[in-house]
Amino acid sequence: MGQINQPATLLDRIRRLEQELAEVRKKVGLSSAVVSRGGLTIKDNGHLRVLDSAGVERFFIGAGSPNLPNGDSQPLFIVRDGSGRRRLAVYDPVTADGYEPVFWVWDHIGHVAFTTDRNGGVAEPWTAVPLYPQFEMGHSSHHVGYTMLPVSALTTGPVVWEGWIGKVSHPRLQILGYWGRATGTSPVSVTYEVRVGHDQTVVGSWVSTGIETALYGPWDISPWLSHTNIPVRLSIRATSGDATDMVAVQVLSCWMRQT
């Protein structure tokens, strides 16, 4: 007698339906979920990534590159706009000499609008430090484009320019100006010192001879980060040369900046 096929039992049908439903769920993915208690934990350098309907990444949080000095992935937080440009992020773009997460803000066309510095404080934008002359200007009809003082007025190294920072927000300071001997033929050595703080700590100095337009710095002012009402002074000392020779003492700009 031939074999008679029996119809599947109800239990078999339920098992097959459960298997098919599980496969559908794998293909479709999770469409929505609510965590009412506890939390969501992503382990083993995983990440959370949000794509829009066009496939553009709009949000990312998790492990990424460049790697930390020990080879591990660094934690990243990135928010992008509809064009894919980064608008907000926390990550260290260079980790070769130690990991310090930097906070970034970009404008809508990709320019950096704000960053923090790896040594503390603000990196960008830079902030100007206005300096004001501490000397009396003489009367002259001769226009040269910069301020000058005679060697005789600079032999003791007086403070020639001074300004105060309301609150130190950046870790570095630099200065631009006209420096060195402006008139005369005798050899003149001029030492410029930038002093910061109420104790007039010298953070940077240079020596000029002939006239120059030069940028000096940046120098470390991180010990004063977040301190308020901090003086910045420029002292100038001239040695040798004729007492009537003139020395350029013109500050063009001074500003706080990033490392």
* Segment 124-178, tens digit of pLDDT: 999 999 999 998 765 555 666 788 899 999 999 999 999 999 999 999 999 999 9
Task: Give me the half-sphere count of Cα atoms (radius 13 Å) on the Cβ side of residue 86.
Answer: 16
Q: CA–CA separation, 63 vs 195, rounded Å?
A: 43
**φ, ψ (nearest 5 deg) of residue 153:** -90, -5
Domain ranges of the chain: 47-116, 127-136+145-257
Q: CA–CA separation, 251 vs 175, rounded Å?
A: 7
CATH of domain 127-136+145-257: 2.60.120.660
Strand order from edge to edge, sheet including 159-167? 132-133, 159-167, 228-239, 189-196, 201-208
* Segment 20-36, tens digit of pLDDT: 877 776 666 666 778 88
Contact of 58 with 52, CB cutoff 8 Å: yes
Q: CA–CA separation, 71 vs 185, rounded Å?
A: 60
**φ, ψ (nearest 5 deg) of residue 140:** -155, 145
pLDDT at position 70: 84
Q: Which residues of the chain have pLDDT under 50?
A: 1
pLDDT at position 195: 98
Please name the residue ranges forming H helices in the chain: 10-28
pLDDT at position 6: 53
| Of the candidates 207, 173, 216, 209, the residue with the CA atom closest to the CA atom of residue 188 | 209
